Amino acid sequence: MILWIKLFLAHLIGDFIIQPSKWVIHKEANKIASKFLYIHTLVHFVVTMLLLWDISKWYIALIIAFSHLIIDATKLYIAPRFKNNSIPFFVDQFFHLLVLYVCVFYDDLYGQTWSFFQNLDWGLITAIVFVSFPAAIIMSKLLESMSNQIPVDHKSLPNAGKYIGIIERLFVLLFIILGRWEVIGLLITAKSVFRFNDLKESNNRKLTEYILIGTLISFGLAILTGLAYLHIK
């Protein structure tokens, strides 16, 4: 379980945290000719090695990095054939996680890392990372088809919705770990009160439904992450 969590955390960092949007755009435009495809692969190798913290396990990082290159390159050529961009995204993530599972299945890293890293709560770190930007990207993919039907509010701050979602999921995760489920209800109520005037003034049913679906997905991802962490712990 420790090995799996480390590899999964490395994947989240490499695929969602240390990958600017311009890298993705450049890769989609230039495919295997894009330098960022290979930089992205190198990032996965380095991050995996740092989290494993065991030079003798270099082959695990190499397998993950090489497979990541092959899977991403394949996705670049197949993705344009799909009208729904979320399908290639989730298929791509499935194969990345499958590679991680294979690595964990054939190798055991228990007790071989330094005591400092053994004492860290890797489950909690992974949960926090997941409910931040990875969860935000997953939500954007799930709501992509709906967002095109919602009018753009030019009065909104740039990326405000994304960061509000990240903060609320972090709060939900914290309250679940502390066992304070009632506070989550208060958090949902508070958000509803703040949103009420905006939805009342806009009088837009689609916008109301979009916000409701987004809120439920956001809270759902945070709750599932919190429950998974408690189960692992």
* pLDDT digits 0-9 by tens, 162-201: 888 899 999 999 999 999 888 888 888 877 776 655 555 5
Per-residue model confidence (pLDDT) at position 222: 94
Q: Could you identify the residue written with the tokens 């979009």? A: 210
Residue with tokens 């956001």, as numbered in its chain? 218
pTM (2 d.p.): 0.73
CB 174 within 8 A of CB 139: no
pLDDT digits (tens, 9 = 90+) for 7-21: 999 999 999 999 889
- What contacts 24+ positions apart, CB below 8 Å, involve 86-93? 86/141, 86/142, 86/144, 86/145, 89/141, 90/141, 93/15
The gap from C-alpha 165 to its chain's centroid, in whole angstroms, comes to 13
Does the pLDDT value for residue 119 go beyond 90?
A: no
233 pLDDT tier (thresholds 50, 70, 90): confident
Residues 168 and 218 sit within 8 Å (Cβ to Cβ): yes
Instruction: For residue range 201-218, list pLDDT tens digits in order.
Output: 555 667 777 778 888 899
